[in-house]
Amino acid sequence: MNVAPLRKRPAWAALEQHHKKMRDVHLRQLFADDAGRGEKMTAEAAGIYLDYSKNRITDETLGLLLQLAEQSGLRAHIDAMFRGDKINVSEKRAVLHVALRAPKGATILHDGKNVVPDVHAVLDKMAPFAERVRNGEWKGHTGKRIRNVINIGIGGSDLGPVMAYEALRHYSERTMTFRFVSNVDGTDFAEAVHGADPAETLFIVSSKTFTTLETMTNAHTARDWLLAGLKDQAATAKHFVAVSTNAAEVAKFGIDTTNMFGFWDWVGGRYSMDSAIGLSTMIAIGPANFRAMLDGFHEMDEHFRSAPFERNLPALMGLLAVWYNDFFGAQTVGVMPYEQYLKRFPAYLQQLTMESNGKHVTLDGVHVDYNTGPIYWGEPGTNGQHSFYQLIHQGTRLIPCDFIAFAHTLNPLGRHHDMLLANVFAQAEALAFGKTAEQVKAEGTPDWLVPHRLFEGNRPSNVILLDKLTPAALGKLVALYEHSVFTQGTIWQIDSFDQWGVELGKELAQRIIPEFEDAKEPKLAHDSSTNALIRRYRKMKGSG
């Protein structure tokens, strides 16, 4: 489908006009005008209830946003993704993470070949391995069972596994510890192995390329640590497995490729937590729970693919994000899970959203003349309420928020959960409606204090309510955001699946490392600031 540049799409111009009408309309007014708004402006799918009524929108806004989706070719773009078209244009790759959670028997073609059987072949290889580690059948080199699993990976090969482990810790094998090493800062590795017995430790080296500096450095350090403890070169075989697309490099490192779990170039790093990159998750929660998580993903995929946009959760959330980003000039989106197990979810989302939509050119390479990806951030509630929520309530910036909550807790303790849920609903309410000067005065506040205690309100939010944090629920939630990101990227007409900014970082440091090592002062050809910093560091570490 041929899509006009964003500013040329009729719905865009109409939204610009409409925004002039909407920017001063208060949510108090919108709710007063329609008593049924809080029930009407909701959507429900795959067990997720989305209340989007506290957004600064009317039916007209929604209608225009939906037109924008149509005029942006969202439907065709979704079909193209599911069909395996190479929609990652700058890397000439298909984008098929949806195939990772397709049920056995489904058909998803990549270059004419059905990839679903390959996906299940890897899952079927992961499952018995995970079981053997969990039940102690897989022994370490000295015959001891594995008690510690350490995933070594970074970016997409780390954030998903960490988030999923934390999120599903309730379902995890509690006799084992799961740790994650990502940073090239040696402290990360040192702390991860602190107190661990090498004879009981399994390293999963997770790297799509198996060439990433941080991961390979940590993997080599891990091997040295293991061999220093077990004093036998052969020990690696039982203590290292790999997850990668690069069998040659895995073999070069010394890991038997029978202990390698593969995936494919059509899986982006930040979209890979449900591929073999999730091996640590599978060991932690068991294959059945892992498959339940995949089913959750799949349910949301099917909803995104087939539901009309006016009832389509990811499409609605994506369109609302565009509304605030491009018309209200909001620069960030706060995501606040009222669920302690989701404490790493915002960090995970930061990569998913910002690495995907932090782009400055369209698919055709033309500089955009509108804002693209907002900054996503967040912390679990209620903790955030005692720190940065102040700025959301009374600061000068507009920060649309997503509040995520579950009706049932996994840890029922007295009235804790009611208190948690009361807080999340109260925050969304207070942000939307605020407190007028009259209300503040009626509380007996002296006049001079009224401005300080006044809350303007009109701060928009979504409330996302689920039943219980299960593996399937997590899958649905992640897929919800993946497809919201997709929706936003489609409107902006950018490549949400490349990451040249990340690639740049991978190259830059390589140039400087040898400049530290040279015994003689090397010729430094950077800018004067970088040159001076390198010289100073050399001097400080005693090698200058």
Of the candidates 73, 84, 156, 314, which one interacts with ligand G6Q according to CB under 6 A?
Answer: 156
Q: Binding to ligand G6Q by residue 157, rule CB under 6 A?
A: yes
* Omega prior to 382 cis, within 30 of 0: yes
Our answer to whether residue 386 is catalytic in this structure is yes
Stretch that binds ligand G6Q, among 9-17, 116-124, 162-170, 201-209 (CB under 6 A): 201-209
Write the DSSP symbol of residue 103: P
| Beta carbon of residue 269, minimum distance to ligand G6Q (angstroms, whole number) | 2
Q: Binding to ligand G6Q by residue 88, rule CB under 6 A?
A: no
294: its two tokens: 């995949």
Q: Binding to ligand G6Q by residue 298, rule CB under 6 A?
A: no
> Which lies closer to ligand G6Q via its Cβ, residue 156 or residue 374?
156
Catalytic residue among 166, 214, 299, 355: 355
Of the candidates 499, 515, 534, 538, which one interacts with ligand G6Q according to CB under 6 A?
Answer: 499
Give the whole-angstrom CA distance, residue 310 versus residue 236. Answer: 54
Q: Binding to ligand G6Q by residue 346, rule CB under 6 A?
A: no
Our measurement of the distance from residue 329's CA atom to the centroid of its chain's CA atoms, rounded to an integer in Å, reads 23
Q: Nearest-CA neighbor of 352 among 499, 139, 459? A: 499
| Beta carbon of residue 511, minimum distance to ligand G6Q (angstroms, whole number) | 18
Stretch that binds ligand G6Q, among 13-21, 266-274, 383-391, 478-486 (CB under 6 A): 266-274
Q: Binding to ligand G6Q by residue 303, rule CB under 6 A?
A: no
The total number of residues shown for the chain amounts to 544
CA pseudo-torsion sign 487, 492, 497, 501: negative
Stretch that binds ligand G6Q, among 163-171, 226-234, 264-272, 514-522 (CB under 6 A): 264-272
| Beta carbon of residue 156, minimum distance to ligand G6Q (angstroms, whole number) | 3
**Can you say whether residue 179 is alpha, beta or left, with left for phi > 0 and alpha for psi between -120 and 50 degrees?**
beta
Q: Binding to ligand G6Q by residue 209, rule CB under 6 A?
A: yes
Give the whole-angstrom CA distance, residue 210 versus residue 372. Answer: 31
Q: Binding to ligand G6Q by residue 161, rule CB under 6 A?
A: no
The residue type of 327 is F
| Beta carbon of residue 94, minimum distance to ligand G6Q (angstroms, whole number) | 15
| Beta carbon of residue 287, minimum distance to ligand G6Q (angstroms, whole number) | 23
Residue 491 has, within 13 A of its CA and on its CB side, a CA count of: 30
Q: Binding to ligand G6Q by residue 212, rule CB under 6 A?
A: yes
Give the whole-angstrom CA distance, residue 267 versus residue 265. Answer: 5
> Which lies closer to ligand G6Q via its Cβ, residue 172 or residue 215?
215
Of the candidates 50, 95, 126, 154, which one interacts with ligand G6Q according to CB under 6 A?
Answer: 154
Site size toward ligand G6Q, by CB under 6 A: 15
134: its two tokens: 């969990």
Sequence-ordered strand ranges (E) for 267-388 = 332-337, 375-377
Give the whole-angstrom CA distance, residue 253 versus residue 23. Answer: 58
Our answer to whether residue 506 is catalytic in this structure is yes
Q: Binding to ligand G6Q by residue 215, rule CB under 6 A?
A: yes
246: its two tokens: 């690069």
**What are the C-alpha distances in Å from 292 to residues 129, 217, 471?**
18, 34, 6
User: Strand 42-45 to strand 48-51: parallel, antiparallel, or no bridges (unpaired)?
Assistant: antiparallel
65: its two tokens: 């946003």
| Beta carbon of residue 77, minimum distance to ligand G6Q (angstroms, whole number) | 19
Q: Catalytic residue positions?
A: 355, 386, 506
The residues that touch ligand G6Q, with contacts defined as CB under 6 A, are 154-157, 207-209, 212, 215, 268-270, 355, 499, 502
